[in-house]
Amino acid sequence: MSNRTTMTEFLLLGFSDIRELKILHFVVFLMIYLAGLMRNLLIITAIALNHYLHTPLYFFLVNLAILDLGSISVTIPKSMVNSLMNIRVISYSGCVSQIFLFMFFGSADLSILTAMAYDRYVAICQPLHYERVMNRRACVQMAASAWISGILYSALHTGNTFALSLCGGNVVDQFFCAIPQLLKLACSDSDLSEIAVIVFSACLALSCFVLIIVSYVQIFRSVLRIPTEQGLHKAFSTCLPHITVVSLYVSTGMIAYLKPHSRPISHLDLVVDVFYSMVPPMLNPIIYSMRNKEIKVALRKLIGWSPSFCFDFNFLLRFLINIIK
């Protein structure tokens, strides 16, 4: 009986056995990866180079962009290399690292989104106390707590998963290493481990989500009392992108992790997993830049756009295609 000490590699799920489709998969993933990479780097650079954006909101946005960069860099490059080289193998240590980093970036992402909700709550509901409450030290402590909690959360689940003996083969029904798929390979009954992962993850996500909802309930109550149209517009322009990002992240995560994993994986499951792992990190910069005038101005200054241009997806896609060509 083989176990975790003798397991040296895993076989990841391929999208197709046809060489042409593998090349197509490589090209599509490359486009998605470069788009996410460039968008998040633009956000980080624009905020870093503009001193008027050195505020708590944009400090957390930089943290979110860094985490998104890490999230897409954990899964996409390995999948692209496998398709290009016509292989499916990932080493044991590579699988451990992939799970740890993916869980870390995902959980830290949610914590940063919670901190951003609290920042908006203080800015809108307690504007006179904003500079005192959201000072530099408090922001650094909140960001550090998000990163440290992400490390601890990821280490707990990764260690719990690989502490199990794996004797159900080495084929992972996923294009990257994921805990639910690895639990299907356990020798012993992994139901308790899977339930523990789901319950703990649900508690973490639910607590963050409740804090976000409570913050925005208070925000909208205050917004409705703002007498000027300009004040209303500014409040909504900073809050709506965050609500959109949180909704996208939580909804895709729930679909990906709460669907039954006992049945064989289908093409729909694969599409859901691709969407969950790749789309939110790629869309976050677009969501924030489209609704935030300050970010759009900073981006135009950064890359020399005239005011007539709009930072939209179509222009960025054409720009990316020209680079690749």
CA distance 42 to 144: 23
Tell me the fold of 9-324: Rhopdopsin 7-helix transmembrane proteins (1.20.1070)
- The domain locations on the chain are 9-324
CA distance 132 to 138: 9
Residue with tokens 């980080």: 44
CA distance 26 to 81: 8
User: What average pLDDT does range 46-65 have in this prediction?
Assistant: 88
User: What average pLDDT does range 53-69 have in this prediction?
Assistant: 90
pLDDT band at 311 (very low <50, low <70, confident <90, very high): very low
Regarding predicted confidence, which is higher, 190 or 247? 247
Between CA 121 and CA 262, with CA 281 as vertex, the angle to 5 degrees is 105
10, β-bridge pairs: 90
pLDDT band at 191 (very low <50, low <70, confident <90, very high): low
Measured on CA atoms in the order 157, 163, 168, 174, is the torsion positive or negative?
A: positive
pLDDT at 70: 92
Q: How many CB atoms lie within 10 A of CB 66?
A: 18
Percent of the chain topping pLDDT 70: 76
11, β-bridge pairs: 89, 171
DSSP for 180-200 reads HHHHTTBSS--HHHHHHHHHH
CA distance 131 to 128: 8
Tell me what the pLDDT averaged over the chain comes to: 77
pTM for this entry: 0.80
For 147, the token pair is 């990163």
pLDDT band at 171 (very low <50, low <70, confident <90, very high): confident
Regarding predicted confidence, which is higher, 76 or 237? 76
- Quick check: 35 pLDDT over 80? yes
For 205, the token pair is 């996500």
pLDDT band at 104 (very low <50, low <70, confident <90, very high): very high
CA distance 30 to 90: 19
User: What average pLDDT does range 143-158 have in this prediction?
Assistant: 90
Q: Which residues contact 66 (CB under 8 A, 6 or more apart)?
A: 40, 44
pLDDT at 45: 87
CA distance 313 to 142: 32
- Quick check: 316 pLDDT over 70? no
For 296, the token pair is 């759009």
CA distance 298 to 42: 10
- Quick check: 83 pLDDT over 50? yes
Amino acid identity of residue 160, one-letter, is N
Percent of the chain topping pLDDT 90: 10
Which range of 8-17, 299-308, 310-319 scores highest in mean pLDDT? It is 8-17
CA distance 165 to 4: 5
Q: What is the pLDDT of residues 212-266, one digit of tens each?
A: 888 888 887 877 776 666 666 666 666 777 677 777 777 766 666 666 555 556 6
Secondary structure (3-state) at 175 = coil
Average the pLDDT over each of 73-77, 233-237, 243-247, 278-282 and give the range with the smallest value.
Answer: 233-237
Regarding predicted confidence, which is higher, 145 or 293? 145
- Nearest in space to 216 (alpha carbons), one of 106, 108, 125, 107: 125
Sheet containing 89-91: give its strands across.
89-91, 9-12, 171-172
pLDDT band at 164 (very low <50, low <70, confident <90, very high): confident
- Quick check: 4 pLDDT over 60? no
Average the pLDDT over each of 27-31, 76-80, 88-92, 172-176 and give the range with the smallest value.
Answer: 172-176
pLDDT band at 3 (very low <50, low <70, confident <90, very high): very low
